[in-house]
Amino acid sequence: MKAIVQQVYGSSAMLAVADVGRPEAGAGQVLVRVRAASVNARDWHVMRGDPKIARWMDRSVFRRKGPANPVQGGDFAGTVEAVGDGVTDVAVGDEVFGEAVSGAFAEYLAVPRALLDRKPKNLSFEEAAAVPLAANTALTCLRHVDAGNRVLIIGASGGVGTFAVQIARARGAEVTGVCSTRNVEAARALGAAHVVDYTRETVTGRYDTVLDLAGTRGLRELLRLVEPTGTLVLSGGGNFDGGSVFGPVGLLALGQLARPFVKPSIRGPLAQQSPESLTELRELIESGQVRPAIDRTYPLAETPAAISYMESEHARAKIVITVAA
């Protein structure tokens, strides 16, 4: 099968199309014929091996000189090709979507049954592939939000941000999005009641929840935007210059250290994909409350260009890879 392969850390020039062996569905697994995948900041970090501390944190993903799996990519949508022993609720031909640890930038993917769900009926394969990681991150970060809460989303036009705006609104919150000039109207269209163009304005006021997806502000500045009884949620971010030791982990660690000494609650939740979260996202999508926003699509062979675009152009919303027609 065709796949995008990487042996050593580096730029997108390290990625190449190659013929590799097709995986098989082991016990508890599903073999998916991948129709579409999507690019996340996580893919960039794995490609670069950046921040460097990550190479020692998760050995299932990182090795010292290159990725643990030479085929990257997590988000996918496609059709079931085969099922392994013990899988009884998914059948060959079913349309599914989900998030794997790696391996989605390929024509076939073997993934545990628990990491996929039925594809939303009202989405194409490309749209469905844009959902899992980004939407589940937004969902995890905003689970505490109630109707009437004032929510500030810094980075409202990115992959996670576009879902966060919609999910917060679906929970009945009054949403303020922060983005650049070119994305103001898009943020409003997604449901932000107020939009701050950070190139022209300064964010002011206090909010019940501040979700920072950009990682460009210091902890003190962020805390000044949160009500004393509110919640500051830190979720990755930072620039894509690379070469750092700690990267976004530094701000997350600082937030954890400050938690006992400040009044607003500080959270840095880790989004874990599960059948329940995928089902919840599918229901939100099928009800019309959430829909993925896609910036660009690329064919599988141009995955290096897709990742390069993400890191250099600060892509709006999601970038999708079309694997099979």
- The stretch 252-262 carries a mean pLDDT of 71
Q: What's the pLDDT at 211? A: 98
Over range 17-41, report the average pLDDT.
96
Whether residues 12 and 127 fall in one domain? yes
Q: Which of 104, 105, 97, 159 is nearest to 128 (CA)?
A: 97
Residues 239 and 209 in one domain: yes
Residue 183 in domain? yes
Q: Note whether residue 156 is domain-resident.
A: yes
Q: Which of 15-29, 140-154, 262-276 has the lowest average pLDDT?
A: 262-276
Residue owning tokens 């064919």: 299
Domain boundary among 249, 267, 285: 267
Q: Kindly state whether residue 138 falls inside one of the protein's structural domains.
A: no
Read off the pLDDT band of 312 (50, 70, 90). Answer: confident
Q: Are residues 127 and 12 in the same domain?
A: yes
171 and 288 fall within a common domain: no
232 and 246 share a domain?
Answer: yes
Count: domains in the chain? 2
pLDDT reported for residue 237:
59
Whole-angstrom Cα distance, residue 256 to residue 173?
Answer: 26
Q: Say if residue 151 is in the same domain as residue 236.
A: yes
Q: Whole domain around residue 278: which residue ranges?
A: 2-133+273-322
Q: What pLDDT digit, counting tens, does each position of 188-211 carry?
A: 999 999 999 999 999 999 999 999
Give yes or no: residues 259 and 294 share one domain.
no
CATH number at residue 230: 3.40.50.720
pLDDT in tens, 264-285: 989 888 888 888 999 999 999 9
**What is the C-alpha separation between 187 and 272, in angstroms, rounded?**
26
Same domain, 260 and 287: no
- Least confident residue range of 15-24, 39-48, 274-283: 39-48
The model's confidence at residue 239, banded by pLDDT at 50, 70 and 90, is very low
Evaluate if residue 233 carries a pLDDT over 90.
yes
pLDDT average, residue stretch 249-253: 67
Of residues 281 and 47, the one with the higher pLDDT is: 281
The pLDDT of residue 167: 98
Pair 27, 114 in one domain: yes
Q: Are residues 205 and 282 part of one domain? A: no
pLDDT at residue 56, rounded to an integer = 58
Q: At residue 118, what are phi and psi to the nearest 5 degrees?
A: -65, 135
How many percent of the chain have pLDDT more than 90? 70
Please report the pLDDT score of residue 259 as a whole number.
Answer: 72
In a domain, 245, yes or no: yes
Nearest to 151 by CA among 217, 221, 210: 210
Within a domain: 139: no
**What burial letters (b/e) apply to 141-150, b meaning 16+ CB within 10 Å?**
bbeebeeebb
Instruction: Identify the band that residue 68 occupies on the pLDDT scale cut at 50, 70 and 90.
Output: confident
pLDDT at 44: 82
Is 75 among the domain residues? Answer: yes
CATH code assigned at 128: 3.90.180.10
Least trusted range by pLDDT, from 153-157, 187-191, 246-250: 246-250
Predicted local confidence at residue 112, as pLDDT = 96
With respect to residue 228, please indicate whether it lies within any of the assigned structural domains.
yes
Mean pLDDT of the chain: 90
Residue 231 resides in a domain? yes
Let me know whether 15 and 32 are in one domain.
yes
Residues 292 and 222 reside in one and the same domain: no
Q: In 3-state terms, what secondary structure has residue 45?
A: helix
